[in-house]
Amino acid sequence: MKYVTVSAKIPVELKKLLDKYGVKPGPIIRKALEEEVRRRALKSLERRAEGLSQKLSHITDEEVVSLIRGDRER
């Protein structure tokens, strides 16, 4: 897996506290970024699903059943 460096400016006091408590920021930043990307991806999928739901809302359950049966018979 390839990596890139991402930097961020933080207050001097925060850096001193990280050093004092031996906190390595890399894994924490990586996890926070992964969680944020996951959250936004899910939000995007939810919006797409809502749009599809609106487009498909006119199809009745009976039509769906009929389409599935027809597809299975083929």
What pLDDT digit, counting tens, does each position of 48-60 carry? 999 998 888 888 8
Q: What is the pLDDT of residue 74?
A: 85
Is residue 6 in a domain?
no
Is residue 58 in a domain?
yes
* Percent of the chain with pLDDT strictly greater than 90: 74
Is residue 45 in a domain?
yes
Is residue 23 in a domain?
yes
Is residue 34 in a domain?
yes
Could you tell me which of 51, 70, 74, 54 has the C-alpha nearest to residue 62? 70
Q: Buried b / exposed e across 40-57, counting CB within 10 Å, b at 16+?
A: eeeeeeeeeeeeeeeeee
List the structure tokens of 28.
């924490």
Is residue 50 in a domain?
yes
Residue range of the domain that includes 41:
12-73
Give the number of domains in the chain.
1
- Cα gap 74→72, rounded to integer Å: 5
